[in-house]
Amino acid sequence: MTTFLEISTFFEQLENISSRLELRDKLGNFLYSLTPTEGAITTYFITGRLAPKFVDAEFAVSEKTIIHVLEDLLAKSETEIKRLKQEYNDYGNIFKELTQHKIQKSSLPLATIYEKLWDIVKATGKGSQKIKFDLLKNLLSSTSPVEGKFIIRIILGRMRLGISERTILDAISIKTDAPKQARQIAEKAFGLTSDIGYVSSLFIQNSDLDSIMHKSQFTPGIPIAAKLVEREKTIKNVFKRIPTPYEEPKYDGLRCQAHIYKTEELKSLSNRIWYKYTSSRETLRLSNSADSIHVKLFSRNLESLTSMFPEIVRGFKQVGQALFQRYPNAKAFVFDGEVVGFNPNTNEFSPFTDTMTRRRKYNVDEAATETPVKIFTFDVIFWDKTALLDTPLRKRKELLEKIRDIHPDIILTPTHTPQTPKKAEQLFLDYVSEGLEGVIFKDPNSLYTPGLRRFDWIKFKRAMKKELADTIDVVALGYYYGTGKWAKFGIGAILVGIYDEKKDRYLTITKVGTGITEEQWKMLKKTLDQYKISRQLPNVEIPKQLMPDVLLEPAVVMELEADEITKSPTHSAGFALRFPRFKRLRDKDPTQTTSLHEIQEMFSETRN
């Protein structure tokens, strides 16, 4: 039985490792020394959670509550705690440093800490901050300094270990007999289950890769990673790759996976460690309605969008009723599409930012009337009793036809089959003149490969003169205090980078300081300051001469426009952006920036 003291001591050791390979190997060795259940819990902890993202397991402990708990436990005033925060950069560190004198008590088992943390999650509703306060205070008063440090970090969801899901997949694969093959299976299993803790427990438990795959099936009700798209510079090139492509409008909204299923389906999840804490309540957001058809919506980040778009849920419920009537023994139906704001008065699409105001979780009903949304459905990935991941798109589109005109908010994306590049270009121009960003070409034979970017789905966007044809998503890695005009905000330029999948590292690509208004600077500083760290993480490569005044944990993703991509001897990506301009913040995982591979492609495209 492993204690939480052993786990947190191990986390602390990881903090002192700067080589990514060493980190991976140490993590692999450690995980395999645990039981499968302990391995799952430890893996969730590393991600700063108790369960995968699609499970609503938020602590909802406010910073204020943490401050009050520390005030009580450390006998300090609120002002002192805030000052210490400046000094130590992190509430976990404050706890550890100021309780060093504490007499070491015997540590609780890992599983017990996991339960106690769930108690904090489960306190909801009126007066819950007080309950959370009491639970946390009790927990911390009985733990050692290093345990407390990591409990606080888990509760804040920020472990600052520099370990991504990819590192975890590497760590569990490297210890097997056939690491390369194991790595592919790990990736696939994660793509299908979206549950990193479960995947790591499977690897600890089984040495047989077939059996791991067998236990990693697509479960309706649980999101899978969305299929991604590549880009091409000319339509001619697209036709070289796909001789008879489908062509669809590219909507600028929010990717959304819609699951319609019967309750029983989720019972197959009872082997997950987090399940028992969620099944008794509404964490999985099962409704209690008598009709037993459930609808859940997920974003590309695998987070729930169910409460954000009630009208889409209603629409799919109606679709579900029609389908289950037709297929009474069906298990589920899962669709993929893009949610887009639509103004019924003007009959026009609303800008993406309006749709995103729904992100503010409150006042959803009000937002629903202000900015009604529709979903343009373009794919089906589970139908009746079968997952369709290995079924060609042509077949999937035939099935999709069956939901046409069931509900006015559930619209099928028009799919054209232009015979020549010229016809395809005309269609593209028509869509652009309607105000859309561009089109997506798809191979009718393409399979639904979760999380992968292949040339069987290709986007083609309208190119802006003298600018790159596409924007670039980057993640903030640090900022400089700045001089002159902006010095008063304490931030003058932001060092940003991209994610390199191959190396599992963040590499710098440019500094941004233009295209940002005064209001935006204030907002950016506030957002970025939440991710301040005091050491450079092992998965971030910042050249010495670019070292920013404030280092940031890679978390905040921004969309940039730029004129050009150039080779760079300075930036660790090997490329730089010319005249980068800030466009907006993006609600994306930091590993979903434009990849190094894409940057390379965009660079060579512009040289051709």
Rounded least distance, CB 499 to ligand ATP, Å: 10
Sign, Cα dihedral of 543, 544, 549, 553: positive
Nearer to ligand ATP, 133 or 431 (CB): 431
In angstroms, give the least distance from the CB of 597 to ligand ATP.
12
Indicate the residue among 24 and 505 with the shorter CB distance to ligand ATP. Answer: 505
Residue closer to ligand ATP, measured from CB, 203 or 506 = 506
Q: C-beta of 567: minimal distance to ligand ATP in Å?
A: 22
Cβ-closest position to ligand ATP: 255
Q: Which is nearer to ligand ATP, 229 or 546 (CB)?
A: 229
Question: What is the bridge-based pairing of β-strands 254-262 and 293-298?
Answer: antiparallel
Look-up of token digits 């893996």? 43
Residues found near ligand ATP in the complex (CB under 6 A): 228-229, 248, 250-251, 255, 300, 338, 378, 413, 440, 459, 473, 592
577, with CB counted inside 10 A (0-12, 13-18, 19+), is buried
**What would the DSSP string read from start to end of 452-505?**
-EEEEEEEEEPPPTTS-SS-EEEEEEEEE---GGGGGGT--EEEEEEEETTTTE
Give bridge partners of residue 54 from the DSSP assignment: none
Q: Shortest gap between Cβ of 308 and ligand ATP (angstroms)?
A: 15
Measured between its terminal Cα atoms, the distance across the chain in Å is 60
Name which of 283 and 413 has its Cβ closer to ligand ATP: 413
Which residue, 228, 224, 353, is CA-closest to 296?
A: 224
Residue 267 contacts by C-beta under 8 Å, 6 or more apart in sequence?
none
CB of 455 to ligand ATP, least distance (A): 13
* Residue 177 Cβ vs ligand ATP, minimum distance, rounded to whole Å: 35
- The smaller minimum CB distance to ligand ATP, of residues 187 and 248, is found at 248
In angstroms, what is the minimal distance from the CB of 234 to ligand ATP?
17
CB of 575 to ligand ATP, least distance (A): 17
Using the minimum distance from each CB to ligand ATP, give the nearer residue, 239 or 376. Answer: 376
Rounded to whole angstroms, how far apart are CA atoms 606 and 467?
Answer: 10
Q: How many CA atoms lie within 13 A of 497 on its CB side?
A: 31
Q: Which is nearer to ligand ATP, 435 or 543 (CB)?
A: 435
Name the CA dihedral angle for 48, 54, 60, 63, rounded to a multiple of 10 degrees.
40
